[in-house]
Amino acid sequence: MGKESLQQIRLGAGVIIIKDGKTLLAKRKKKALGDGQWGSAGGHVEVGETPAQAAVRETREELGIEVGNLKFLTCLDEQWKNGKQYVDIIFLADILSGDPRPMEPDKVEAVGWFSLDDLPEPLFAPVRLALRNIKQGRHYDEYKE
């Protein structure tokens, strides 16, 4: 088989943090999926780790905070125009320690707390779905770019 016919679905994990009616978001830099958009911490699940472990690791790497008390929020199937497909497991989590700040300047340019009723734009579509799913009590959704 040639390169053009061999695509794999990637597994991702992310964290939504909500405190006092606000959610923590990070603005992604160019060169990444969702570049220039506000999103949550997250990334690829590595071989040998669980989605929950990946979510904790990615949040530490990207925002310099330790999270815990993870609760399953939703599973998202995402199909992108570039041919990539992800299944993302999204958790709600609490900050256990640290102050959120951009730890990977090549990937994250800003961090902020935003009211759930006044979210910044552009907002990364999977994060928009995850936040909507909280309100609707949904645990699965699909996104096609």
Task: Confirm whether 59 is domain-assigned.
Answer: yes
Task: Confirm whether 68 is domain-assigned.
Answer: yes
Global model pTM greater than 0.85 = yes
Pairwise CA distance, residues 80 & 89, whole Å: 17
Task: Confirm whether 46 is domain-assigned.
Answer: yes
Q: For 79-92, how does the pLDDT look when each residue is reduced to its tens digit (9 = 90+)? A: 988 888 999 999 99
Expressed as residue numbers, the domain containing 43 is 7-137
Task: Confirm whether 143 is domain-assigned.
Answer: no
How many domains are there within the chain?
A: 1
Contacts of 75 (CB under 8 A, 6+ apart): 87, 88, 89, 90, 139, 140, 141
CATH number at residue 133: 3.90.79.10
**Cβ pair 129, 107 in contact under 8 A:** no
Task: Confirm whether 145 is domain-assigned.
Answer: no
Task: Confirm whether 142 is domain-assigned.
Answer: no
Q: For 39-84, how does the pLDDT look when each residue is reduced to its tens digit (9 = 90+)? A: 999 999 999 999 999 999 999 999 999 999 999 999 999 998 888 8
Tokens 């949040």 belong to residue: 59
Nearest C-alpha neighbor of 107 from the set 129, 83, 124, 88: 124
Nearest C-alpha neighbor of 52 from the set 33, 34, 73: 73
pLDDT score at 1: 40
Rounded mean pLDDT of 86-100? 97
How far apart are the two ends of the chain, measured CA to CA in Å? 27
